[in-house]
Amino acid sequence: KNIVLMASGSGSNAENIICFFRDKNILCNFHIITNKKDAFVLERAKKLNVPAEVITKKQNEEGVLLDRINELKPDLIVLAGYLLLFPAEIVALYPNKIINIHPALLPKFGGKGMYGSFVHEAVVAHKESETGITIHYVSEHYDEGAVIFQAKTPVVVTDTPLDIANKVHKLEYEHFPKVIEKLLND
Ligand code: GRF
């Protein structure tokens, strides 16, 4: 199976997914695409010996990402901390083939515009008693596609945004690879 992993930042989810499939000896061709020249995910790709490349926002707008995706013939495109809105023309060409993980319980705290990467601060500010992760299909708008999977974790009054981020990352690492494995088997 061909899996394209899109990440803008550290790429810990991308690494976790790759290691999960390797540890289970499930053959997959991974390809990492980031939009940042200095994204740490590129270091992880080198360490994991996974092909990786930078395709910038401007190049997305010029159709470079679409051409690359078509060349890679992905069975699944996984957004794992990809911070750009995915080009609508690609979403239209790959229905139910693009998934994203959001570090909150959508529809709460969704939409990059509202909270961006300050989702956990918003959870604290709203005194939520729980939060979690949402894995969903990508649509033309941020965080609005059909939900595939959610997992929850309690939030206690002493939790800081960092405490919450750590709890949420644990859920991501536990569940994201399994959800992908299931989607590939369907
Ligand atoms: C994750 O928390 C994910 O939910 C969000 O961005 C973060 C990516 O972290 N979309 P990493 O780059 O996988 O470490």
Indicate if ligand 1 lies below 6 Å from the C-beta of 9: yes
User: Residue 14 and residue 6: Cα distance in Å, rounded?
Assistant: 8
Beta strands in the chain (DSSP E): 2-6, 29-34, 52-54, 76-79, 98-102, 130-137, 147-154
Q: Give catalytic residues, as residue numbers.
A: 102
Q: Do 172 and 100 touch, CB atoms closer than 8 A?
A: no
35 is in an annotated binding site: no
Q: What local confidence, expressed as pLDDT, does residue 139 receive? A: 86
Residue 11 annotated in ligand binding:
yes
- Global confidence as pTM: 0.94
- 185 labeled binding residue: no
Residue 52 CB–ligand 1 contact under 6 Å: no
- The alpha carbons of the chain give a radius of gyration, in whole angstroms, of 16
CB of 13 shorter than 6 A to ligand 1: yes
Report whether residue 132 contacts ligand 1, using a CB cutoff of 6 Å. Answer: no
Dihedral, CA of residue 23, residue 74, residue 152 and residue 173, to nearest 10: 30
Contact at 8 Å (CB) between 128 and 159?
A: no
Residue 100 labelled as part of a binding site:
yes
What's the farthest any 2 CA atoms get from each other in the chain?
49
Give the C-alpha separation, 165 to 163, whole Å: 5
Q: How far is the CA of 21 from the centre of ligand 1 (A)?
A: 19
pLDDT, tens only, 68-93: 999 999 999 999 999 898 899 999 99
Q: Let me know: does 99 contact 77? Beta carbons within 8 Å.
A: yes
b or e along 24-49 (b: 16 or more beta carbons within 10 Å of the residue's beta carbon)? eeeebebbbbbbbeebebbebbeebe
What residue owns the CA closest to ligand 1's atom 10? 81
ipTM: 0.94
Residue 40 has pLDDT above 80, yes or no: yes
Residue minimizing CA distance to atom 5 of ligand 1: 81
Ligand 1 neighbourhood includes 134 CB (under 6 angstroms): no
Cα–Cα distance between 114 and 24 in angstroms, integer?
38
**Whose structure tokens read 């053959």?**
27
pLDDT in tens, 109-168: 887 656 667 899 999 999 999 999 999 999 888 778 899 999 999 999 999 999 999 999
**Which atom of ligand 1 is nearest to 133's Cα?**
4
- Residue to substitute in 85, 169, 173, 174 for testing ligand 1 pocket (most ligand atoms within 8 angstroms of CB): 169
